[in-house]
Structure 1
Amino acid sequence: MKKYLCFAALFAPAFTYAETVMADPAAIKDGAMRYQSYCAACHGDAAEGAINAGREISIITDSGGNQPPDLTDDASLYGTSPDDILAIIENGVPGTMMPAWKGRITDVEMKNIVAYIHSRMGGMAQSSIEKLLDTGSQPRNPEQSPYTLVLSDYISMPVTGDLNSESNTLSQISRMNFIRQEPETERWFVPDLNGPLYIFDDKQAAPVEYLNLKSIFPAFHDSFGFASGLVNIQFDPDYSKNGRFYTIHLEVKKNDVPLQPVQGPFKSLDLSNYKVTKTIETPSFGNENGFYGVLVEWQDSDPKNDVFEGTARELLRMDMNRHIHPMGALSFNPYAGPGDEDWGTLYVGIGETGSGGMQDARKLNAQRLNNVAGTILRIIPDLKKRTSDSSLSENGQYRIPHDNPFVKLKGARPEIWAYGLRNPHRLIWFKDNQNTPQLMAFNIGQVNWEMINIIGKGKNYGYPIYEGTQLMMPGSVERDDDSVKMPVMISGVLPERYIEPSYPALQYPHMAAIGGDAISGGYIYSGTKHPELKDKLIFGDMTTGNIWYSDIASLVDANDDNPEHLAAKFAFTTTLREQVESTYKKRGGTQLPLPSRGVIAGPGRIDLRFGQDRSGEIFIMTKSDGMIRKIEDVVDREFKN
């Protein structure tokens, strides 16, 4: 059996269940649809295998390039019966990313998947299968909403990419990753992953470079990876008084490259008190961690002009198993005010740095509380705040609230607020029906599911043992009649202590008709221009550019840790892909139709992001063409005058 052998490695002609299933067109049709939903992300579109389908599959990349078998390869016909294949579907393959599907889909659905694979292996012509499946017509999306979003251009960001490059990231027009409105002004701050931090407002002809981290940090890393470089910016709640804001960037480990920053062209930058902090280690188990994620506090002495004048202070440095899924999200509770326990408390979303796809001990790093990979942290950057009910961090650069959930658990990182997440790269806040502030994370999946998690104190969201509601590693949980429990891990397992997994409030599959490749993020609409969107979470998928909404009330209702109870989403109609492809070409893009590709998106990633102003209006960013757009209109196609 091959190392990555899943359910389709070996075949034989005999079935112990009725052979009519294997020739039943309805069974094959259903199996093809199930295959697209559950299997194609690893094994490729139309059972061709990921390499033959010509698509980069993150799970394979994360696992060192090991390729699952080509399901149509005659060399795999060694005589194992389809019942053995069915058993592999049911039970998975321990030690690989092939999950167990028993209990997640029905026996009939699993048999139909085998029937579909058998139809390919049995020589059924592809044209016959296409006719059977009617693949010439677009499948109906049962979640289609009546709304069309009309998007208009707002601003073009400067070109920072190498448009002649065939790199996944360098050929993007602009790698803007966030857009933040400055407190109490009309200015926007936009970090570009390639290094610049721009500012602009409606009165400016073009964005102005305010800082450039690539010029300041010699070890700055942006040369590959979709989230490498200047990842994020967030303003301090007291920014209008103290001029403080926070950034995340990546650095590479090289013996000949210093970690201490330099002034570069920014002569008003004072680095005299900047100290490189002690690294929070990410377990490597003898392998080399080659990158850092770095959180920096900046203080501008005169934030009213377009030039940075002030100091920088390193708050936190962690090392990373790989350059992907880094520290990414920064958020303060906007509902907290002076005197509240959450005032000035920073929440930091951190990905598992690629460990979840590794087939060694690093795989479970997001479950280990002795490191910060795959977590959300809760810290106090201001050393003078909450001194009576917090403790100084190990590196002396921030404080840790005493009410964090793992402060008293020996060996655990006291900064951790929640864990078991693959890549919670976007965090937003909202109030539930009890008027209680809630933190929401947009969490990128790996194999089958993209997730929205409502984050609770001390909760474990399961990854990589779970992906969303799907159990990926059955041998890693304990079951009884009423619940499933997971061991609490520090460096190893503490069998005397268990925790029940927490599930998303919403998830969508890696499936063309109703899903996508990677959840982008979003905001709850609170503006006045488009009343149709009131109290709706507007979010989307990075690569495809699909944009959906979900009613906030349904998300709150689904936050009950019942894996069978999830909120629904509804798709907007847009012309975003056409707009992005047209603008990319007009701005000099050469990797037509767009740079890079996705499993579901196919050739060309839109690379969708969202922003929101203080009035609650939502903006759409697309990195591939370097554009920021606004929602100009919301058209109800079912409304007739």
Structure 2
Amino acid sequence: MTYFKIFIVFCFSQVIILNAGAQTINDYPQDKKTIEDGKALFTQNCSSCHSFTQRGIGPDLSGVTTELTKPALLRFIRNSQSVIEGGNPRGIKLLQEYKVPMPSFEALSNDQMGAILAYVNTYRTKDESATINKFGLAIKDPIPQRIKKSGLTLELEEITTANPSADKIPLARINQMRVLPGKKERSFIEDLRGKLYELKDRQLTEVMDISKQMPSFISVPGYATGFGSFAFHPNFYKNGLLYTIHSEKPRSAPSDFAYPDSIPVLIQCVLTEWKINDPKSGKFEGKSRELLRIDMPTVIHSMQEIVFNPLARPKDSDYGLLYLTLGDGGSAEAGFSFLCNTNTQIRASVLRIDPKGNNSKNGKYGIPAINPFASDNDDKTLGEVFARGFRNPNRVAWTPEGKMLISDIGLNSIEELNLIQAGADYGWPQREGTFFLNSKGKMNKVYALQPDESNFKFVYPLAQFDHDEGNAISGGYVYQGNIEQLKNKYIFGDVTTGRVFYIENEAITSEKPAEILEFDLLFKGVPSTFRDITASRRADLRFGLGANKQFYLFTKTDGKIWKVTGCKSL
């Protein structure tokens, strides 16, 4: 999901399972200092997965301290897996529901755990009123058809292991791979904790560390917090322009897109341009210039990717324009859907800007005249917006024919792959996949589309799968390498389970949904799965393109990078 130290389902992802039927009201501290300390700890360690209004990666925690004893809650925080391994039946059931257990948090002191619970205890009442609605019965299994095996097996070769940037899982938060075109192509990969590496001769060499150059840089909390993405200008070897996005502490500097003070700011997202002194060097040094800064109300779904259209040439109107995928910042789940539900808001959108222009409100970047809302004569719409209606648009790709694809991570029900049209609305937070979502109430259920659906003009996914199959789509690319059986397949997968899927390039059309098929996997000749290889319920799978059209898969959990070397038919 959001899709972000791993707090896979932190503090409480299955706390409601421990003592079924327990209704003890425990004696928690009531003093202001303890509760404020607990709130700060909760925000730092738990808010990526939990709230008190909605289910997310973990359950809604409102009322949990009235349902369970304090000792039971503390046991779970200390070591959830030992509780589950002890055979607790509801624990096993919720592990199946949420797919991943949370890690042990024995490093937290008793006082810290107690403070967190004191804060949680201030939300003693579970609000059920929003579950009563006029939208009909919730759909228990949105997509009953299962993803079929394709009969194809990917052969994977281990290339290297990224340098650990922490001593706990995820060991290396390797997140994105890019190719720098030129006479000799170069491959780069970044770690969310701040470092940019060059992949050469099966070795990763650090070329830049933005965490040391940005005083307010942060890489926690949140699954995607930190150094999120990078993009080389298509004329990089001549102009030396490199672009990055990263996270900073709230209120580190004035935001270009703020909101009322009554709404919290938990993180700022920053887009930066770097002028590299020597683009051919193995070390990137130079000056930086901030282009854009955006406030977010939670630590999830912030800036996800920046990318230039790799097919655009100097005479094309799209050449040199930078795309930026921007999640809703958790605003919908936090009850602030008005921050992300129209094209008058920057969040939940894909932006297209001219980094060398200056006609934006802050004067630091340009708004291309060809953008769909740039010349609509409406002062309220944002000219930066290229398309909107995304919860967590995590990856962008183009087909060989120039079609733009974006994968969008859903909340509780549906994962999407979208075929992008300029100016289109993809539905979030009113829709999840091809289903109705009650954005003003509980969002953990989806419903059939309502009779007035045609009034809204939403665009539906090219392909989708529900949470019987996985929890968070991991976007990929159309294979264009030398393995014949893989050519013209858009290869992607699921972050959590590590399953690898594909759709045929010829099925990428707005006429009908594309069929998703699944690969089997061979690791150094041995059949296995990414969950087994990483020895983790959360594989944290990503995809990348390297030099010479090589196709890579890598996992944050263990930092290993795998190259696709072949494909076999069963």
TM category, shorter: 0.7 to 0.9
| Superposition pairs of residues 234-633 of structure 1, within 5 angstroms | 234-253=231-250, 259=252, 279-283=255-259, 286-358=262-334, 360=335, 362-383=336-357, 392-407=359-374, 408-431=377-400, 435=401, 437-473=402-438, 483-486=453-456, 500-511=457-468, 515-528=469-482, 530-556=483-509, 559-560=510-511, 565-574=512-521, 578=528, 593-594=535-536, 604-633=537-566
Q: Deviation of residue 301 (structure 1)? A: 1.9
Q: Deviation of residue 50 (structure 1)? A: 7.7
8 A contact 1:161–1:172 mirrored in 2: yes
Counterparts of 1:475 and 1:177, CA distance in 2: 33
Is the partner of 1:347 in helix, strand or coil? strand
| Superposition pairs of residues 5-404 of structure 1, within 5 angstroms | 51-52=16-17, 60-61=50-51, 63=53, 66-67=60-61, 95=130, 100=135, 102=137, 143-163=148-168, 171-184=169-182, 185-202=184-201, 206-253=203-250, 259=252, 279-283=255-259, 286-358=262-334, 360=335, 362-383=336-357, 392-404=359-371
CA deviation vs aligned residue, 1:304-337 (integer Å, no higher than 9, x gap):
1212232211111111111111111112122221
8 A contact 1:283–1:371 mirrored in 2: no
Is the partner of 1:615 in helix, strand or coil? helix
8 A contact 1:177–1:192 mirrored in 2: yes
Is the partner of 1:214 in helix, strand or coil? helix
8 A contact 1:404–1:415 mirrored in 2: yes
8 A contact 1:243–1:303 mirrored in 2: yes
8 A contact 2:224–2:301 mirrored in 1: yes
Instruction: Evaluate the alpha carbon distance shift between residue 324 and residue 58 of structure 1 in structure 2; reply closer, same or farther with a 3 A threshold.
Output: closer
CA deviation vs aligned residue, 1:249-292 (integer Å, no higher than 9, x gap):
000126xxxx4xxxxxxxxxxxxxxxx6x523254571211211
Instruction: Evaluate the alpha carbon distance shift between residue 441 and residue 161 of structure 1 in structure 2; reply closer, same or farther with a 3 A threshold.
Output: same
Cα RMSD of the aligned pairs, angstroms, is: 3.4
8 A contact 1:50–1:57 mirrored in 2: no
Is the partner of 1:315 in helix, strand or coil? strand
Q: Deviation of residue 97 (structure 1)? A: 11
Point out where structure 1 has 5 or more consecutive residues left out of the alignment.
Answer: 1-43, 74-92, 111-138, 164-170, 260-275, 384-390, 487-499, 585-592, 595-603
Is the partner of 1:151 in helix, strand or coil? strand
- TM-score normalised by L of structure 2: 0.73
Point out where structure 2 has 5 or more consecutive residues left out of the alignment.
Answer: 1-8, 20-45, 68-127, 442-446
8 A contact 1:583–1:625 mirrored in 2: no
Q: Deviation of residue 186 (structure 1)? A: 3.7
CA deviation vs aligned residue, 1:354-395 (integer Å, no higher than 9, x gap):
11212x3x1242213332110000100113xxxxxxx61111
Instruction: Evaluate the alpha carbon distance shift between residue 518 and residue 393 of structure 1 in structure 2; reply closer, same or farther with a 3 A threshold.
Output: same
Instruction: Evaluate the alpha carbon distance shift between residue 404 and residue 50 of structure 1 in structure 2; reply closer, same or farther with a 3 A threshold.
Output: farther
8 A contact 1:231–1:247 mirrored in 2: yes
Q: Select between 467-476 and 413-422 the one with higher mean Cα deviation.
A: 467-476
Counterparts of 1:371 and 1:284, CA distance in 2: 13
Which amino acid in 2 is paired with 1:372? Answer: I
Q: Deviation of residue 580 (structure 1)? A: 5.2
8 A contact 2:52–2:62 mirrored in 1: no
Q: Deviation of residue 223 (structure 1)? A: 2.3
Counterparts of 2:145 and 2:353, CA distance in 1: 46
Q: Deviation of residue 299 (structure 1)? A: 1.7
Is the partner of 1:178 in helix, strand or coil? strand
Instruction: Evaluate the alpha carbon distance shift between residue 49 and residue 210 of structure 1 in structure 2; reply closer, same or farther with a 3 A threshold.
Output: closer
Counterparts of 1:480 and 1:446, CA distance in 2: 20
Instruction: Evaluate the alpha carbon distance shift between residue 464 and residue 284 of structure 1 in structure 2; reply closer, same or farther with a 3 A threshold.
Output: farther
Counterparts of 2:165 and 2:560, CA distance in 1: 12
Is the partner of 2:493 in helix, strand or coil? strand
CA deviation vs aligned residue, 1:414-443 (integer Å, no higher than 9, x gap):
101111110111111124xxx4x2211010
Which amino acid in 1 is paired with 2:365? Answer: Y
Counterparts of 2:472 and 2:132, CA distance in 1: 18
8 A contact 1:524–1:537 mirrored in 2: yes
Instruction: Evaluate the alpha carbon distance shift between residue 248 and residue 369 of structure 1 in structure 2; reply closer, same or farther with a 3 A threshold.
Output: same
CA deviation vs aligned residue, 1:458-514 (integer Å, no higher than 9, x gap):
11111111001101139999x99785223xxxxxxxxxxxxx111111000000xxx
Q: Select between 534-543 and 212-221 the one with higher mean Cα deviation.
A: 212-221
Q: Deviation of residue 147 (structure 1)? A: 0.6
Figure out how many residues of one structure are paired with residues of the other and give that number: 456
Q: Deviation of residue 181 (structure 1)? A: 1.8
Is the partner of 2:352 in helix, strand or coil? strand
